[in-house]
Amino acid sequence: MNPHLSLLQPYPFQRLRDLFEGITPDPGFAPVNLSIGEPKHATPQIISEALRANLGGLASYPTTIGVPALRVAINEWLQRRYQIPALNIDKAILPVNGSREALFAFAQAVVDISGPQQPVVISPNPFYQIYEGAAFLAGACPYFINTTAENDYGMDLSQVPVDILKRTQLVFVCSPGNPSGKVMDLQAWKTLFELSDQYGFVIASDECYSEIYFDEASPPVGALQAAHQLGRDFSRLVMFSSLSKRSNVPGMRSGFVAGDAAIIEKFALYRTYHGCAMNPAVQAASIAAWNDEVHVIENRSLYSEKFNSVTPLLKQVWPQAQLPDAAFYLWIDTQQDDTTVAIRLYRDLNITVLPGSFLAREAHSINPGKGFIRMALVASPQETLAAAQRIVAHYK
């Protein structure tokens, strides 16, 4: 067996199941699960209809690069959303089966272990656990940058030692961030790009939450958009996007990568051997999704409703609760042991949240998730409000 498998830690949700083992929640309350970032809003009819109408495509083998119409739809969406020039649809855009598997696979394709020193992959901390697993199984060493209230939950690369930066081959960034919802501004992107120029590492920009925000006039800046605004090309830069959160289709497993054409060309070759071409019916449904913004605006409205109703209530219990820049998480400093809080909410109120320490690693003498809980406001507005009201009543 691959010896690197022994480095993988249990996934946060397995740890949560273990934490709750033997605990029976109060049956007097209907369960509300706010632990996993799985959208529960209805799948838009335009997508469901396109999926059903194209089931005939299952009779054909799909290609790794997908049909041209899908790459055109993605290209046009990128231009509308980020005000960037058209990309080469044959070289700079690649459909993928959701951002999760693509992020993992990308590290396997990018990391070069042939040198005399073990390569480094930099990640925020707390983080999406795929980043760590991808680094380990590529033969690299993860290096974590703690994102805390003290640095406004930003990735401060100035803290990274030069000898680490010299070994760094890949940097994962997530904007809007999971779990904090922090959005990188143009200056943060500029600093990251300059370090990439200096040390030659590739940037993997995870933007799966980019379409969940609260001000229609101010969408979060994306990596390609930032590069364009700064007068740069997309060298050593690849963004990852997904329909899961944007369009409420996590089960469809549909996303794309876009950016540096030379890197994507090699990544496409890797994926040809990987055997991960997108289902033809899913490609057709994805075209419908990327071409429509009405359902996305409606989706954002639902999240705004939930955040606006729930956040003021939770501040009565946890004063540190505040609206994030974007995404659908509340990242709350409870000032208590986070596993104890999670057990209490589950046992006494039948509400499931994720302890923040499960999303982070001990790095630089701290676990930056300790004391926090992550609440994914993915349930219906009624369920989410009921959960917040239960918490306030219980703690008061």
- Residue finishing a domain among 267, 292, 317: 292
pLDDT tens readout for residues 187-217: 999 999 999 999 999 999 999 999 999 999 9
Q: Give the model's pLDDT for residue 158.
A: 86
- Residue finishing a domain among 292, 314, 340: 292
Reported as half-sphere exposure (CB side, CA atoms, 13 A), residue 311 has a value of: 16
Q: Do residues 316 and 346 both lie within one domain?
A: yes
- Residue finishing a domain among 276, 292, 308: 292
Q: Do residues 318 and 390 both lie within one domain?
A: yes
| CB distance 285 to 252 below 8 Å | yes
Would the pLDDT of 396 be above 80?
Answer: no
Q: Do residues 110 and 251 both lie within one domain?
A: yes
Would the pLDDT of 155 be above 80?
Answer: yes
Helix axes of 338-349 and 381-395: crossing angle, nearest 10 degrees: 110
Three-state SS for 123? Answer: strand
Instruction: Quote the domain boundaries for residue 324.
Output: 3-42+295-395
Q: Do residues 81 and 36 both lie within one domain?
A: no
d(CA 87, CA 238): 12
CATH number of the domain enclosing 310: 3.90.1150.10
Q: Do residues 9 and 76 both lie within one domain?
A: no
CATH number of the domain enclosing 186: 3.40.640.10
Q: Do residues 73 and 103 both lie within one domain?
A: yes
Enumerate residues 6+ apart whose C-beta is below 8 A from 199.
165, 166, 168
Place of tokens 């049956």: 27
Question: pLDDT averaged over the chain?
Answer: 97
Reported as half-sphere exposure (CB side, CA atoms, 13 A), residue 201 has a value of: 26
Domains identified in the chain, total number: 2
Query: What pTM, to 2 d.p., does this model score?
Result: 0.97
pLDDT tens readout for residues 254-300: 999 999 999 999 999 999 998 899 999 999 999 999 999 999 999 99
pLDDT tens readout for residues 162-177: 999 999 999 999 999 9
DSSP assigned state of 193:
H
Number of CB atoms found within 10 A of residue 117's CB: 10
